[in-house]
Amino acid sequence: MGAAKQGLASFDPIKEDMIHDVNLWPLIGVAVIVAGFVLRFNPMLVVIATAVATALAAGFEPGKVLASIGTGFIKTRNLPLIILLPLGVIGLLERHGLRQHAQAWIAGIKSATAGRLLLVYLAARQLTAAMGLTSLGGHPQMVRPLLAPMVEGTAETRYGRLPERIRYKLRAYAAATDNVGLFFGEDIFVAFGAIVLMTTFLSEAGISVEPLHIALWGIPTAIVAFLIHAWRLIRLDQALNRELAAAEDGAAQ
């Protein structure tokens, strides 16, 4: 009887009503965005469809949804210009032989290998990102027009014509090197957005932490990430020696 009274006392009808009143339909946006990316639809259309589906499921009026999208577009209307201008410049440079010149230049360095070149870029990318210079690299402005062709050029100088699978493998390593250098380098920069977010979150929780201390604790992680990826790049040279040497022996026989 005492347990039953305690159970009745702990029952709160207001909390029960709040639980039943929670609308889970807005979570349909998660399903929309997962389905869109699985089916490989245009990312911009997927994001817009997700926003519209979530807003309608939450009970927003269609006019309000369109007004919110229009307001966001007006606030960020200059963003496409910032993105497209560098792409236009890179396109003009590629049209005038940027890739070919990069390959020819790196081919003249006999001691260069694909792994060594990527290792140098990893160190430069991580150091510049640690100083806040994150825009000095990147896939569209550095990896595709310069780094990947230079890596392919070093491999062609040592092994001759490369199979397509090796070319794609080298391009993947070039993109991964840029990602690793940027991701773990920018964590050391004291004004990085993630560090500011962590500092604000901890402050709201009553924990006082200086942004500089968080940035300093990112240094060991950055060093370990550099060593691990450097080891992978050294193994890349060894793997190329094995694969392409075996292919040459097979062709000779």
Q: What is the pLDDT of residues 171-209, one digit of tens each?
A: 999 999 999 999 998 888 877 777 777 788 778 778 888
pLDDT of residue 231: 95
pLDDT of residue 223: 94
pLDDT of residue 227: 96
Neighbours of 215 (CB within 10 A): 19
Which ranges of the chain have pLDDT less than 50? 2-9, 11, 14-19
pLDDT of residue 177: 95
Backbone angles phi, psi at 114, to 5 degrees: -60, -45
Which candidate, 93, 142, 90, places its Cα nearest to that of 121?
142
- The per-residue pLDDT for range 99-121, each reduced to its tens digit, is 666 666 666 666 678 889 899 99
pLDDT of residue 16: 47
Token pair 């493998």 in the structure block, residue: 169
Contact 244, 166 (CB under 8 A): yes
The full set of domain ranges for the chain reads 2-77, 99-252
**Cα 238-109-229 angle, rounded to 5 deg:** 40
pLDDT of residue 197: 77
